[in-house]
Amino acid sequence: MLYCISTGEQILLSDNAASLAVQAFLQMCNLPIKVVCRANAEYMSPSGKVPFIHVGNQVVSELGPIVQFVKAKGHSLSDGLDEVQKAEMKAYMELVNNMLLTAELYLQWCDEATVGEITHARYGSPYPWPLNHILAYQKQWEIKRKMKAIGWGKKTLDQVLEDVDQCCQALSQRLGTQPYFFNKQPTELDALVFGHLYTILTTQLTNDELSEKVKNYSNLLAFCRRIEQHYFEDRGKDRLS
């Protein structure tokens, strides 16, 4: 069972991306999952991050541990890779986490326009009046501190977009003309990239520059579409909003 924050009203860009990545990964492993949406999924999770899966009596959150957990159960997508490729895969996953995820967080929480219009409203939507503001501000403060700690605090939006662009360029070059990042078989890197890119492309924000940056790279677009068709169409999920 996959828990994530309820889509539509509450979910935010970064969380959506993560959830989608995990879903994609599990689909790629051909594991049946049931997605459950809860408003307080963030608090239910053991590490405070969504999404998390609940299997039997174990709860595992975040893509990394989930991948390992699934591997321990015998399903793995990256067995066919040799050592060097595995190193590259890990490196690229970190790149995505480092750049794309942080950029998403930045956009959501540190960019005033987005924060005011979208994030606050969405984040606090299931809660009654004072609580929604308080929680939103608290989360914002926390994210801002984190940004400062990693040095993104002083970045302007343009710099962030430039970083995203660089990241996409790197991904695009790595992908080249192959169907997946490591040729024929999808791996967790593909799931992660798909999750992020898809949500960036399909989420409505105050400014569309982020998705514009991604759209510049046609092979990434084709990549997303391919995965979507392959793994999600048959299920007819409408969660991929």
Partner 1 sequence: MLLGGPPRRSPRSGTSPKGPQSSTGHVHFGKSPQTWPRRTRPRSPGLAAPSGVRGSTQPKRRDFPRRAWLTALSRYGARLWMGRRPSLPEARGPAPRSAAASRASRSLASPETSPSPLPATTRGAVAGGGSVQGRAGAQKEVFPGQGAGKMAAPMELFCWSGGWGLPSVDLDSLAVLTYARFTGAPLKVHKISNPWRSPSGTLPALRTSHGEVISVPHKIITHLRKEKYNADYDLSARQGADTLAFMSLLEEKLLPVLVHTFWIDTKNYVEVTRKWYAEAMPFPLNFFLPGRMQRQYMERLQLLSGEHRPEDEEELEKELYREARECLTLLSQSLGTQKFFFGDAPASLDAFVFSYLALLLQAKLPNGKLQAHLRGLHNLCAYCTHILSLYFPWDGAEVPPPRHTPAGPETEEEPYGRRNQILSVLAGLAAMVGYALLSGIVSIQRATPARAPSTRALGMAEEDEEE
Q: Which is nearer to partner 1, 48 or 116 (CB)?
A: 48
Q: How many residues bind partner 1 (CB under 8 A)?
A: 29
Taking the C-alpha atoms of residue 38 and residue 48, their distance in angstroms, rounded to an integer, is 14
Calculate the alpha carbon distances from 118 to 11, 96, 108, 187 in Å. Answer: 10, 24, 8, 33
Please name the residues in contact with 20: beta carbons below 8 A apart, sequence gap of 6 or more: 194, 195, 198, 199, 240
Q: Strand 35-38 relative to strand 58-61: parallel, antiparallel, unpaired?
A: unpaired
Using the contact rule CB under 8 A, the part of the chain among 120-128, 129-137, 169-177, 195-203 near partner 1 is: 169-177
What is the nearest approach in angstroms of partner 1 to the Cβ of residue 98?
4
Q: Does 83 bind partner 1 (CB under 8 A)?
A: yes
Listed residue (93, 77, 91) closest to 26, CA to CA: 77
Choices 4-12, 23-31, 53-61, 144-152; region in contact with partner 1 by CB under 8 A: 144-152
Looking at this protein, which amino acid is placed at residue 192? Answer: L
List the one residue from 167, 191, 193, 205 that touches partner 1 (CB under 8 A): 167
Counting contacts by CB under 8 A, is residue 150 touching partner 1? yes
| Site residues for partner 1 per CB under 8 A | 47-49, 83-84, 86-88, 90-92, 94-95, 97-99, 145-146, 149-151, 166-167, 169-171, 173-174, 176
